[in-house]
Structure 1
């Protein structure tokens, strides 16, 4: 047997091993305190141990030193947070649901974030597996954009890191992020912690052969690193190599480190699904023991190590006591920050990270008064011209989606924009709605204004997780982060129907916390609403109705480059006395056609915005007309008309001379056959019948 001593990698001499040992012992003491005392006492209600994962995370954190580095982590990443400066008191207080910290008691305590005001940023974590990947991709692309397009040299060598377990490599988010990173050559490091189990499911069920690194060696344009996450020397060397590979702009990289999960998935998990011999083997493979063997006695004595351990336990006792003494979060503020807010002095209560507001970005002047040109344009041209002006005047605007580049969009709304502004600002994406929206979120975090296109409303379904998470960012981080993005989304019936391209379903987004939803019925409103959305500090769904894109009804003169429509302000299409008709989108045309054929005087209100909706305008009208008909294309059960009806029943009941009526699609998809489609859509004839019965009541 050879007794030749293995040469140490150069990085070993640069590591502060005392700091690392103390931090690892501190993380372990934190888990001990929670598992042995705080959880049994019900001071902590959700607990996810990091035991076994600490070594690699702390080594990784020591490498994240650039001011524009970011980590997109997950619920087992507290050691990384500690290595990046999370205070012990905040780390203990958050799982207790106490005030302060990174969510002020709003989110599960291990779901962290860290605004990068004095160092790297930790992007808001999420509780769902795999959703951390595509926002990290957006941040990486943001680094490239700031460096190349905005010529900000301070972004040189910055990187994005995304952490996940071996279970997460089976998710859509992982594969979407991997595709984008490798095809776009982004500065991102995938850090995969493999403890062999996704809760109780073995890794072989997540990826063939159980090792994602082996499966990716054949991938183009990504460097793979694979090793033992319990070996201090090997882990330190591989992490250093992988980080520098990405920093040197050689391309994306993935590091796969094996390690034991020394406790259950969460406190309640007793690991009964594991063979006893495996549990014993994992305990013998504790990276803390490996670290001690490496450091003692060569670098520190047993007494030193014991002192580190005693101090760590004492620090955790003190931090725990201080955290327990914190007050509960102020329940009177729980409803705050679903949307951006203003302070008492009228100034914006700006988030710390995300969107244009933190940089004090200023926009060109705006006006609610249109300056119409002579020629009428359709909605497609209205969208194109608005995007063009905002791209020209705001270098932080990016427009992207499937086929928006050279083709100009499947509806031609982005025609010519890539030629004019280049493919870093107007570009095509891979066919992944998860990737489109998740990437948008990361780009917004990096201080940009992404305008993403989902080709049809139905195609947004795979992006539901990212859309929902985007809307709740401001609330769940207590206004520390926000991701103001615009998602352009055509939908609704057109020359024919079908269950895939003709879906409306705007009520889904009305129920998604934190989202603004606007639905223009004409070209003028399309300009004003899109410009308002692109300058808003909230995420916005801009719904483009397919039947209106080139419709004669929707054509209006271009209202000028400064025209805006305030989000949440309805438009009175015509005034009357007999009844109020509330509608939006393509139904505006049907309603106006119906009323024009009748001897009836009606207030016709085009909501324009579904969230927020103009309650005051509707209430004032109904209090004058005493009757109300709500017409929308979405299905009836729990459609948005039901919300309007409920508000009117509560706040205008004494003014009503007839029941509130709704005319909607039945609870079925839109049929393809034109005759079948017309049989179920709200049409002018059906609206006439409803008006007649309502007025005669």
Structure 2
């Protein structure tokens, strides 16, 4: 049950001196301060560091927390003011400064802001790849916590039994969707997740009263079920150490979530450019009165060390920063030619994340279908593929809204929970950000998550997590990757509407790092899904609603090891006079429209990557090109294909490249209106004849 927040800590008397290495704490806080000072007085004015966020005031408690993360399977997901935690985890100060200066190596090889960190710690707790967005760290941390429980309890991984997940956030971040989604996940699933909230009273300039009533999230959550709550002063060494120790030990031993709120002063502006003009002189003076550094001095001198020892520790830290600066400034800017690498897996295995980095080896692939039995619809084909991969790979987990006992709103997962249990096929709370964010954490922990988003439009709340996931490999310079398969039913069915009938695949094609599959039939769905589940990149897998049970899309099951490589189009019909390029539900319509005409109909099957060679070869032979898709015309993916054809095959064309798409409107509801807006067989046939007569 929830514990009321402890707001008056006069009763906190248990000393932690026996289990805190205070000399180490003193060194690390001096190190953190010296790094801040160097950046603020030298590197930022010299424009060698472009983004700088001081951790003064937050540093003491963060260091105490970092030193408590002793299990090699522990992980922490922080935010832009979490550098003291990184130092406590063992990050090299030269990597800290080199990353801040955008030099080669470090967190990202100069690809990302230096405060957006990651650390695949070889000898201790991992710092998960943070994101630049406020609140985006929470749900991946929940996913890591759930992965720990799954690995320990289902896979029998004894190394995960005592490990925990920690997420750090400022008081302003508790207003975000990510915070509340992760809180729901952790408390409903009893996950070993510690919410560590640093309350400095401001979100840049906005007071905490605008983020949560009364400006105290611990007090507001006092009645939140299944959440152990602690609250206190993060600037008092003994009190902060006690609370950090109690919070970590509770999560580690009870395997349940806790929230620790510590009040801390933000002794500098939000960032280097922030002058804090919104704070009065009295407020600033009161904050400096709470500086934890002199309080740490008074706690240790002379009780634990002499004044000269204290000064020697500070001098040693400053010397370490000087050495780190020389090394960091000696690093070059990364070769610009390398900046396009590691968008996708390119043969060099990432250090952490995904099943491949943990030794997973897929069964030998079969590249040609071996048809079995009668024709089955796409629903059955996808379900059978998921069934088989769940059976042969215990790292695969399927989850989303209604995928459990109900079997999914489209019946794709029907019976899978009965067969594999609720730890492998499970329902989630109604939060798409939570579904994708938790999948990110699971993938980083070595699992193969298969989250379902019920309809394409419902992916919109998860857009930030989707975009962040796709960039993990690139922005960490291949240190981390988060392979997963996001299943999304899209497109129209018997009727339309703006909420359940959206396509807009191009949004995900435009999100770097994601592969995008759009199968039109059961056989292709099996091959592309299996390739995705055994692969090493995140995949958006579209399941077109109109084709899930369409007679045209039915095919015999192609076998349990049949895989279909991405970027390989299929020629549905062959001809000499025109090339039609299409995908999804439009493939059937284009095939029907092409009857009686000499036309190549090309089903792309995947949009990222897409088979440019097949399209250009066909257009070079037919000298005409028509692109048909269900999405709206303006900036639809057909525009990309048209641009490539015009650029690479312009001299081969006997007619302008043409497109036939939905008009620039949402999908109408009434069937007559919907069919009027969709490219119909008659529309496509008329367009074919128009181009053939050009």
Query: Partner of 1:410 in structure 2?
Result: 409
Query: Partner of 2:660 in structure 1?
Result: 663
What TM-score comes out, normalization by structure 2 length? 0.98
After superposition, give the CA deviation of every residue in 1:655-681 in whole Å (9 maximum; x if it has no partner). Answer: 101000000011110000111111110
- Following superposition, the deviation at residue 297 of structure 1 comes to 1.4
Secondary structure at the aligned position of 1:430 is classed as coil
- Following superposition, the deviation at residue 299 of structure 1 comes to 1.2
Secondary structure at the aligned position of 1:682 is classed as coil
Secondary structure at the aligned position of 1:404 is classed as coil
Question: 1:192, 1:58 → 2: CA distance?
Answer: 14
User: Do residues 480 (structure 1) and 479 (structure 2) align?
Assistant: yes
Question: 1:10, 1:42 → 2: CA distance?
Answer: 45
- Where in structure 2 are the equivalents of 1:612-631 lying within 5 Å? 612-631=609-628
Secondary structure at the aligned position of 1:21 is classed as helix
Secondary structure at the aligned position of 1:547 is classed as coil
After superposing the two structures, state which structure 1 stretch, 676-685 or 174-183, moved more: 676-685
Query: Partner of 1:345 in structure 2?
Result: none
User: Do residues 569 (structure 1) and 574 (structure 2) align?
Assistant: no
After superposition, give the CA deviation of every residue in 1:137-183 in whole Å (9 maximum; x if it has no partner). Answer: 01000000110110111111100000000010000000000000000
Whether the 8 Å CA contact 1:157–1:249 is kept in 2: the answer is no
- Where in structure 2 are the equivalents of 1:459-478 lying within 5 Å? 459-478=458-477
Question: 2:501, 2:625 → 1: CA distance?
Answer: 27
Query: Partner of 1:508 in structure 2?
Result: 507
Question: 2:87, 2:270 → 1: CA distance?
Answer: 20
Whether the 8 Å CA contact 1:582–1:629 is kept in 2: the answer is yes
After superposition, give the CA deviation of every residue in 1:569-615 in whole Å (9 maximum; x if it has no partner). Answer: 1111011001000000000011011112xx31011000000000000
User: Do residues 525 (structure 1) and 524 (structure 2) align?
Assistant: yes
Query: Partner of 2:645 in structure 1?
Result: 648
Secondary structure at the aligned position of 1:450 is classed as strand
- Following superposition, the deviation at residue 12 of structure 1 comes to 2.1
Unmatched segments (≥5 aa) in structure 1: 343-348
After superposition, give the CA deviation of every residue in 1:612-631 in whole Å (9 maximum; x if it has no partner). Answer: 00000001000000000000
Query: Partner of 1:693 in structure 2?
Result: 690
Query: Partner of 1:346 in structure 2?
Result: none
Query: Partner of 2:440 in structure 1?
Result: 441
Whether the 8 Å CA contact 1:50–1:79 is kept in 2: the answer is yes
Question: 2:160, 2:255 → 1: CA distance?
Answer: 16
Question: 1:374, 1:425 → 2: CA distance?
Answer: 28
Question: 2:681, 2:452 → 1: CA distance?
Answer: 31
1:636 to 629, 633, 639: 633
- Following superposition, the deviation at residue 249 of structure 1 comes to 2.3
- Following superposition, the deviation at residue 9 of structure 1 comes to 2.0
Unmatched segments (≥5 aa) in structure 2: 1-9
Question: 2:388, 2:399 → 1: CA distance?
Answer: 16
Whether the 8 Å CA contact 1:187–1:246 is kept in 2: the answer is yes
Secondary structure at the aligned position of 1:26 is classed as helix
- Where in structure 2 are the equivalents of 1:347-386 lying within 5 Å? 349-386=348-385
- Following superposition, the deviation at residue 320 of structure 1 comes to 1.1
Query: Partner of 2:301 in structure 1?
Result: 296
Question: 2:588, 2:231 → 1: CA distance?
Answer: 61
Secondary structure at the aligned position of 1:676 is classed as helix
After superposition, give the CA deviation of every residue in 1:81-107 in whole Å (9 maximum; x if it has no partner). Answer: 000000111111111111111111111
What TM-score comes out, normalization by structure 1 length? 0.97
Question: 1:450, 1:508 → 2: CA distance?
Answer: 21
Secondary structure at the aligned position of 2:689 is classed as helix
User: Do residues 133 (structure 1) and 138 (structure 2) align?
Assistant: yes
Whether the 8 Å CA contact 1:579–1:626 is kept in 2: the answer is yes
Q: Root-mean-square deviation (CA), in Å?
A: 1.0
After superposition, give the CA deviation of every residue in 1:98-125 in whole Å (9 maximum; x if it has no partner). Answer: 1111111111001111113321111001
User: Do residues 326 (structure 1) and 323 (structure 2) align?
Assistant: no
- Where in structure 2 are the equivalents of 1:17-36 lying within 5 Å? 17-36=22-41
Question: 1:120, 1:213 → 2: CA distance?
Answer: 26
Whether the 8 Å CA contact 2:191–2:255 is kept in 1: the answer is no
- Following superposition, the deviation at residue 643 of structure 1 comes to 0.3
1:146 to 128, 147, 151: 151
Question: 1:39, 1:542 → 2: CA distance?
Answer: 44
Whether the 8 Å CA contact 2:15–2:238 is kept in 1: the answer is no
Q: How many residues align?
A: 685
2:280 to 275, 288, 291: 275
